[in-house]
Chains A and B, each alone.
Chain A
Amino acid sequence: AQKITQTQPGMFVQEKEAVTLDCTYDTSDPSYGLFWYKQPSSGEMIFLIYQGSYDQQNATEGRYSLNFQKARKSANLVISASQLGDSAMYFCAMREAGGSEKLVFGKGTKLTVNP
């Protein structure tokens, strides 16, 4: 069973507008972490934001915020005031507590910001 599901293969947004990228996850572990990474065409994975399963508040990092709905097992990324440089692939990932602490990634969403 897929642990991370990103249902939007591609998204388009106008420059300066906000966009939400969806992510749902599946785990029975009460302790886990959720991550979003950006991958521009250069290929490097860039860390954006982290949300712990026990965090009471939604994580925010500059223009990025994570809409964490634990009961629905969703961790959507919100990008405010989109910029042309935001055009990239975006990956949601989860780490479960214990074990190798590896990240399990979704298939990603390609975001295109239009001028």
Chain B
Amino acid sequence: GAGVSQTPSNKVTEKGKYVELRCDPISGHTALYWYRQSLGQGPEFLIYFQGTGAADDSGLPNDRFFAVRPEGSVSTLKIQRTERGDSAVYLCASGGYGSGANVLTFGAGSRLTVL
């Protein structure tokens, strides 16, 4: 597609439930990032994929959070036993390989509300 697509755009769930958030990156982009943005804050890094592998998962807050990218394109962020504090907008971004001026393109985000 032309941009980064994230689904669902909104998700309301109850405390303790399991949630999956999906990210469809720009075709051909090998790098994929997940960020979490709480109200009034900047995006916080969660995890980075280069191809299929999680190259850096140092931002995942605890073992309830997990992400996969099995074929090197679509990624799913999985949250188990959701807590109210998990409520935030989850942003996905993709980019080409390489550092420097490699610009990340962000999706519109998935807003998660845990009741």
A residues lining the B interface (CB < 8 Å): 4, 33, 35, 37, 42-47, 50, 52, 91, 93, 95, 97-108
Contact = CB atoms under 8 A, between A and B. Distances in A.
Contacts of B48: 100-102
A50 B105 contact: no
A98 B98 CA distance: 9
Contacts of A98: 99
B91 A45 contact: yes
Given A43-B89, A45-B43, A105-B43, A52 B109 contact: no
Nearest to B57: A100
Given A100-B48, A102-B45, A105-B44, A35 B99 contact: no
B30 to A, nearest CB: 12
A101 B102 contact: yes
A56 to B, nearest CB: 15
Q: Which 10 A-B pairs have the closest CB atoms?
A: A100-B56, A105-B42, A45-B106, A100-B48, A44-B108, A102-B45, A101-B99, A105-B43, A47-B103, A50-B101
A69 B59 CA distance: 30
Contact of A33 (B55, B91, B100): B100
* Chain B interface residue number, banded: 20 to 34
B45 A101 contact: no
30 contacts: A4-B42, A33-B100, A43-B89, A43-B111, A44-B106, A44-B107, A45-B93, A45-B106, A46-B106, A47-B103, A52-B100, A52-B101, A93-B42, A97-B99, A99-B56, A100-B58, A101-B31, A101-B99, A101-B102, A102-B48, A102-B56, A103-B43, A103-B104, A104-B45, A105-B35, A105-B43, A105-B44, A107-B40, A107-B41, A107-B42
Nearest to B109: A43
Contacts of B93: 45
A35 B109 CA distance: 19
A42 B9 CA distance: 11
Contacts of A4: 42
Interface string B79-110: 00000000001010100000111111111110
